[in-house]
Chain A
Amino acid sequence: MTLADLRKRQGIEAPEADDGHGGDHGHPSAFEYARIGVILAIITAAEIALYYIDMSRNLLIVTLIVLSAIKFLFVVLWFMHLKFDNRLFSTMFAGGFVLALALFVIVFSTLGGKLV
């Protein structure tokens, strides 16, 4: 018996077919994607420029991590559509990411070593 048959028998209405986009198809246009691409390219150029600038190491590390995080978020939220999709996907991805961070914490707190 399929789920559809079971629902029919129990008189339950099936949920709206969802391609995961949460019913709201307000996706960015091709122009917006291209604009985000330009922003990503500028951030990458900035990161490389910072590498060659003589600055405090701590400031360099913080700036590079912040810039990378911005790029990460742009790709994950816009290109991977997490911003527009069903929240279940965000939960899954965030779950994996949080577990990876937890792994970092455990490894570096138990085995020592410097993160950066």
Chain B
Amino acid sequence: MAHAETGQLETSTGIDNRKLFMWLFLASECLFFGSLIAAYLLYRGQHDVPCLGGDLSACVFPTDRTINGVEYEGIFDIPFTSVSAFVLLMSSVSMVLALAAIQRGNIRAMRIWLFTTALLGALFVGGQAFEFTEFYREGLDLDTNLFGSTFFVLTGFHGAHVTVGVLVLLSMLVWSGRGKVQQKDSLNIELVGLYWHFVDVVWIVIFTLIYLIQP
């Protein structure tokens, strides 16, 4: 009688239920982020409305604009965000290397790559926090205009997902330090990796559609 190596009961598919659930969860996350991205794109270009109505405090835009002959400087810092995007992308590489390490039975290498992933993730979150603070200082917050609302909700939720991922990675590191993560537990690392890569993939989409492609 075959038993899943992870000690799980037999399943009708022969696949571990946890992995099945993770993919189902990621499918639902596609819809979640899809709806937030759709909301941002739907209202893009309508950011000018409060500003044209004379409310100059709402004149904050992603990129440079000229309205009624007045030039407004955009607040996006593409070089800074590019570095952020690169950092998150590299964290995906370190995450998959951590999985490869534990599948080979190299716990030490797994710990090093897990730590690297958590560090890069934390760097990304720090960059986001810095970016949000800068935007706030330049007059953009949740209720400034449609751009502010949709941008902060979308990137805020993404940042929250990355933060949760970093906390989970640090937890795995602590567990590993206590000897509770061995080669037979590689599925746990794989599940964390799936979540982490998904978060990276969402940023790939956000970086392109929100930052690089401007109306």
* B12 CB–A CB distance under 8 Å: yes
What is the CA–CA distance of A27 and B103 in the complex, to the nearest angstrom? 10
* B51 CB–A CB distance under 8 Å: no
Contact at A19–B20, with CB atoms within 8 Å? no
Please count how many residues in chain A sit with their CB below 8 Å of the partner chain's CB atoms: 61
Candidates B3, B15, B100, B213; contact of A88 at CB < 8 Å:
B15
Given A17-B5, A27-B103, A44–B85 Cβ distance below 8 Å? yes
Contact at B2–A96, with CB atoms within 8 Å? no
Residues of B near A47 (CB, < 8 A) are 208, 212
Across the A-B interface, give the 5 residue pairs with the lowest CB-CB distance, nearest first. A96-B27, A100-B34, A37-B93, A15-B14, A96-B30
* B70 CB–A CB distance under 8 Å: no
Candidates A8, A27, A89, A111; contact of B42 at CB < 8 Å:
A111
Chain B residue with Cβ nearest A7: B10
What does the 1/0 interface line of A91-116 toward B look like (CB < 8 Å)? 01101110111011001100101111
Which residues of A approach B to under 8 Å, CB–CB?
2-4, 7-8, 14-20, 27-30, 33-34, 36-37, 40-41, 44, 47-48, 50-51, 60-61, 64-65, 67-68, 71-72, 75-76, 78-81, 86, 88-89, 92-93, 95-97, 99-101, 103-104, 107-108, 111, 113-116
What is the CA–CA distance of A18 and B180 in the complex, to the nearest angstrom? 22
What is the CA–CA distance of A76 and B28 in the complex, to the nearest angstrom? 16
* B68 CB–A CB distance under 8 Å: no
Residues of B near A86 (CB, < 8 A) are 13, 15
Residues of B near A30 (CB, < 8 A) are 97, 100-101
Contact at A29–B82, with CB atoms within 8 Å? no
Sample 16 A-B pairs with CB under 8 A, ordered by A number: A3-B10, A3-B11, A4-B9, A15-B10, A18-B13, A19-B19, A48-B79, A64-B208, A79-B96, A89-B19, A96-B28, A99-B31, A104-B38, A108-B41, A108-B42, A114-B45
Given A19-B4, A47-B208, A33–B97 Cβ distance below 8 Å? yes
Contact at B42–A107, with CB atoms within 8 Å? yes
What is the CA–CA distance of A64 and B78 in the complex, to the nearest angstrom? 15
Contact stretch, chosen from B133-141, B151-159, B168-176, B196-204? B196-204
